[in-house]
Amino acid sequence: MKHNTSEILKEQDMSNDVITRSKKPFSDCKIIERANVLRDNDLYFFFRAIEDTAASTVTVKGKKQIMIGSNNYLGLTHHPVVQEAAIKAIEKFGTGCTGSRFLNGNLSIHEELDEKIAKYLGHEKAIVFSTGMQANLGALSAICGPKDLMLFDSENHASIIDASRLALGTTFKYKHNDMASLEELLESNVSRFNRVIIVADGVFSMTGDILRLPEIVKLAKKYGAYVYVDDAHGLGVMGPQGRGTMHHFDVVKDVDFNMGTFSKSFASIGGVISGSADAIDYVRHSARSFMFSASMPPAAVATVSACIDVVSNDPTILENLWTNVEFMKNGFKELGFFTYGSQTPIIPLFIGDDMKAVKMTKFLEANGVFATPVLPPAVPKGEALIRTSYMASHDKKDLATVLEVFADAKKVFEIPSNLH
């Protein structure tokens, strides 16, 4: 078909008249606007560059600070036995595995750690993931299929929330540590689904609450549900030899899946899922974050293994931790801080107003204390807090200094002694 000259010119004019649409910048997002406000007022406390670390102190901008914002509960990041194990692993296996365990990155020490931690936790089998986040993402999305239901506590960790988005099944929340709310959901939904999985943190990371696990177990038996415990903040801390929340309550056989992370008490990075042999074998062959992620580096694996040995054989570590926790809990009580009744190494301090929490963090930093503010949406609106946490390696002199600084801060910022 022939086109005349005028038609061709008309088509060219139309093509030159295309309207382009500008890209919407991310700088307009509320989260960036909020961050910029903090930066403009010298109150931005995220991504602080730590230049040096010791047992319980850090150096930031050349200034030494007492660290009370870490999850290094057992203080093992600088333990000589742990450091030596990591060095030897690098010398033998190199710095990385460059592949997933599923295919070409499965070292003998990975399998040894699987066996060691299964025995430590008291379950038949365990499988080690590259991170704790990946453990939850992979295991829960594999376990909760299209005809399954996941019921989880409203204060669960973000990794569980993200896992529920990946899972093909249905997800409902129940009120925090509220067994009546959980039973209501179980009673009305259990007959509608193939499997029902109750998922909750063993120790809740913001408030330091302990899961009402015996009551969870009782309800799970009544309604034929599975129990999945995210014990990221309980592993290494709770129970005899730090074996976790299910040991703390002596309900190991009643927990179907136990998740733990190595980035806290075990001074490294990685995660673990433990349970029955068939359940863990299913996860090994189904969890995409396990199958398609490079495996834990050798030094990290050796570090975790050494940490288990240390905490299992040296009871003074946990004794020191709980002595320090009790000292700080009593100290904050005497100062009149509201601490949410925490019974764990996580001691949150209610502040209330967002900007007051941030300004108080600045005050603490200026006085040699490294702490972290927690703002909405991580906590409810109007309940900004400063999350403090303690280690076995803290000494009483440093902790006494921390209490003195907080005593001054409470007066300066007029911090209330209760939630309302």
Q: Fill in the amino acid letter for 42.
A: D
Q: How far apart are CA 280 and CA 207, in angstroms?
A: 30
* Cis omega (within 30 of 0) for bond into 377: yes
Hey, CA dihedral for 265, 267, 271, 275, is it positive or negative? negative
Per DSSP (E only), the strands in 84-161 are 125-129, 149-153
Q: How far apart are CA 298 and CA 301, in angstroms?
A: 5
Residue 123 designated active-site = no
Q: How far apart are CA 350 and CA 382, in angstroms?
A: 10
Angle between helices 277-284 and 132-143 (to 10 degrees): 100
Q: What are 32's two structure tokens?
A: 């960036």
Q: Check 110, 123, 125, 233 and give the catalytic one.
A: 233
Q: Could you tell me if 346 and 207 are in contact, meaning their C-beta atoms sit under 8 angstroms apart?
A: yes
Residue 218 designated active-site = no
Judged on CB neighbours under 10 Å (0-12, 13-18, 19+), 126 is buried
Residue 247 designated active-site = no
Q: Helix (H, G, I), strand (E, B), or coil: what is residue 389? A: strand
Give me the count of residues in the chain: 420
Question: Which residues are 388's β-sheet partners?
Answer: 347
Q: Check 79, 116, 248, 264 and give the catalytic one.
A: 264
Q: Check 205, 265, 289, 389 and give the catalytic one.
A: 205
Q: Could you tell me if 195 and 149 are in contact, meaning their C-beta atoms sit under 8 angstroms apart?
A: yes
Residues forming the active site: 205, 233, 264
